[in-house]
Amino acid sequence: MGTTGVGGADSGGAVIWVTGLAEAGKTTVARELVRQLIQRGQRPILLDGNEVRTALGMMTSGFDRESRIKTSMTYARLSQLLAEQGHLVVVATISLFHEVQRHNRENQPDYFEVLLDVPVEELKRRDSKGVYSGNDEKDVVGIGQSAEFPTDPDLVVTNYGDVDPKAAATMIRLAHEERLSARVA
């Protein structure tokens, strides 16, 4: 599979699913990844969890487990629809549920799962949205709600310390390109 199609996988489409806890850098890394892919002549579509919630009028959806799973499945179905049309889709979302991960593995074209791993102490230090300092920690995944981290992600990126968003995005892009090249061989 070359990078001839819109999706970068002989137009068969692909999904790069970037997940991690709140403040792990998902949006920042995904935006940098998209920038790098565009520089390489690809035309990716970015689905950022918060932006998709807003665009689909889902901001009033709850943050309890059931509501989060429903929202995550919406991201999964939307990215699948776009990938099946030949697009390279980069998704940035918490969506830390085994059933969503299983669904993606079984249904997404060329699914590539990336976990951004950042210690909770660092997440709290970065807390630009007040997620970890709010009064209602029961809705915070990884604190009040359990996080079901991927059991077998395609790539784990330790996204703090010496790794900045550009380096993290480059690691993702190169690992995904390597996998596509291995499929051709």
CA distance 181 to 38: 19
Q: Give catalytic status of residue 95 as yes or no.
A: yes
**What is the separation, in whole angstroms, between the first and last Cα of the chain?**
9
Strand order from edge to edge, sheet including 111-117: 45-48, 88-92, 14-19, 111-117, 155-158
Q: The tokens of 13 are what?
A: 């489409």
Residue in 11, 67, 72, 95 annotated catalytic: 95
For 130-138, which contacts have Cβ atoms below 8 Å and span 24 or more sequence positions? 131/22, 131/23, 132/22, 132/23
Q: Which residues are part of the catalytic machinery?
A: 95
